[in-house]
Amino acid sequence: MTKQKFLVQGLLLTAFSLFLRVTNIGYRAYLSSKIGAEGMGLYQLIFSVFMLAVTLSTSGISLAVTRMVTAAIAANRRETIRSVVTKCFLFCLTMSCTIAALLLIFSDFAAAKILGNVGAASSLRILALGLPFMSQCTCMKGYFLAVDESLSTSVSDAVEQVLTILSAVALFWTFAPQSIEAACFAAMLASTLGEAVSFLTGWSVYRRSLRRNTPKKVEPGRGVLHGMFHIAVPCTLSSAARSLLSTAENLLIPRELKRSGLDASGAMAAYGLLQGMAMPMLYFPSSFLSSFASLLIPKIAREFEQNHRRAVRHITERAVGAALQFGVFCAGVFFVFGGDWGAAFYRSEAAGGYLKILAPLVPLLYLDVVVDSLLKGLDEQFNSMKYNFADSLIRVLLILLLMRFSGMRAYIGILFFSSIFNAMISVRRLLKVADVRFRVLRRAVLPAGFALLSAILTRILLIGAALSGIPLVLLEAAVCGVFYLAMLTLFEAGCEKLVKTKNPAASEETAG
């Protein structure tokens, strides 16, 4: 993939990802207005159980397909691509149907014993029906990444999102569910309908893509089973273990909040505010990174396979630096303007308060998105599995030990410790494998100062602005972004000039 094509695809994917994040935030705001913070807590708990089933059905498959199809293209064996992807389809379909059947059978048990709400069983059952569609979409996503047609996946995702939202609005409008259990069922039904349509859309695009990218002659792909075990199984085990721990974490939080002194309704509402409202908002700007991060997997994998060490170092340093610089900017925005964001999207001062408190975590959360993709591209998925598992295990243990004494304050402290721990071990491994020496002062510390200064200047400049709600937060982000980019550009230009003065021969390389 040329640099220009990479940039164009990344920008287009970012546009789609931004659309998906914006509509998702709007959808959550709509749901919160219908079911309140307590309902959002139950909604999030149901999805946490369902995501464990999704992980067992799909995790690692996309990466395996991407890596194997990329290898076939690099070896000029395109005639094996159809066989490789077909075998992955069959494997994934078998797994997803098995998991879906188990979820259908044990939905009543999971609702009563795990969620503590028997009315949630119907939501789990309707979600189970969407698992086979999700698994096939995962295979197609891996294929599209490998053949540089990631936009096809984005189109399917956009169709799914729009249909899900429209279906949910229609169901709420038509049936006006009176209980939070009924409201959650309506939302889950809309989600399953969206998954089915997304699969149909993606399948038609996939068939046309095969005709463009593969010859009519088909040869059996060799080593597919080995590839699945080498690539998909470690990722599946890692994701399954982490998903299991994440599900346990989500279930433990309301329970431990009750032990700290809150009643059942208050505990669920507090959980809904944090996990159902504040955390999705913190991740919202990462759409600008996640698209490029997904494109990095096949790109750095090709350079790594061909032993282009200098290219690997260059990609790693630029990607990590961009993630940190963007992350500290978003952290500054949330820290200074978090109250405005909470009021604009959720009409909730409490949600805005969480955004301000958790803002320092944003650079680490966004860095994890990029580092995880780079490690997968460098065939480090097993180490990534270990780090993610250790991080999740420590978080669950700390929740059991500390939350009953200090409630939500303890959980926020756990989030900070966990994020720092995960970033330290993951980044250390990445820099070692890619042989990169990272300049923390230039790429993180000084940009953080610029971001905070830009946000403060923006706050001063916009005092008394005759705006409120979403227009206000968009203006704040735009003005802050202009200040930040100006400071960052002047700083980088100064560094360039200094490097050229000291060592003209190395200036071009250092600039990268």
Q: What is the 3-state secondary structure (H, E, C) of 119-132?
A: HHHHHHHHHHCCHH
Q: Looking at the structure, do residues 232 and 346 belong to the same domain, yes or no?
A: no
In a domain, 458, yes or no: yes
Q: What is the pLDDT of residue 482?
A: 93
In a domain, 360, yes or no: yes
In a domain, 43, yes or no: yes
In a domain, 484, yes or no: yes
Which are the contacts of 91, defined by CB distance < 8 A and separation ≥ 6? Answer: 61, 228
Q: Looking at the structure, do residues 208 and 95 belong to the same domain, yes or no?
A: yes
In a domain, 166, yes or no: yes
Which helix H or strand E contains 281, and what residues bound it? helix 279-283
Q: Looking at the structure, do residues 230 and 91 belong to the same domain, yes or no?
A: yes
Q: Looking at the structure, do residues 104 and 239 belong to the same domain, yes or no?
A: yes
* Contact status, residue 152 vs residue 5, Cβ threshold 8 Å: no
List of long-range contacts for 202-208, beta carbons under 8 Å, 24+ apart:
202/136, 202/137, 202/140, 202/152, 202/153, 202/156, 203/136, 203/140, 205/152, 205/155, 205/156, 206/140, 206/143, 206/144, 206/152
Segments of the chain scoring below 50 in pLDDT: 505-512
- Provide the domain count of the chain: 2
Q: Is 12 helix (H, G, I), strand (E, B) or coil?
A: helix
In a domain, 293, yes or no: no
Tokens 């939070």 correspond to what residue?
180
Q: Looking at the structure, do residues 107 and 20 belong to the same domain, yes or no?
A: yes
- Please report, in angstroms and rounded to a whole number, the separation of the first and last CA atoms in the chain: 19
Choose one of 209, 244, 279: the last residue of a domain. 244
Q: Looking at the structure, do residues 232 and 356 belong to the same domain, yes or no?
A: no
Q: What is the pLDDT of residue 225?
A: 65
Q: Looking at the structure, do residues 6 and 154 belong to the same domain, yes or no?
A: yes
Q: Looking at the structure, do residues 8 and 114 belong to the same domain, yes or no?
A: yes
Q: What is the pTM of this model?
A: 0.67
Q: Looking at the structure, do residues 174 and 315 belong to the same domain, yes or no?
A: no
In a domain, 272, yes or no: no
- Note down the domain range covering 401: 307-512
Q: Looking at the structure, do residues 166 and 39 belong to the same domain, yes or no?
A: yes
Choose one of 198, 223, 244: the last residue of a domain. 244
d(CA 287, CA 222): 36
Choose one of 228, 244, 260: the last residue of a domain. 244
In a domain, 301, yes or no: no
Q: Looking at the structure, do residues 53 and 197 belong to the same domain, yes or no?
A: yes
Q: What is the pLDDT of residue 510?
A: 43
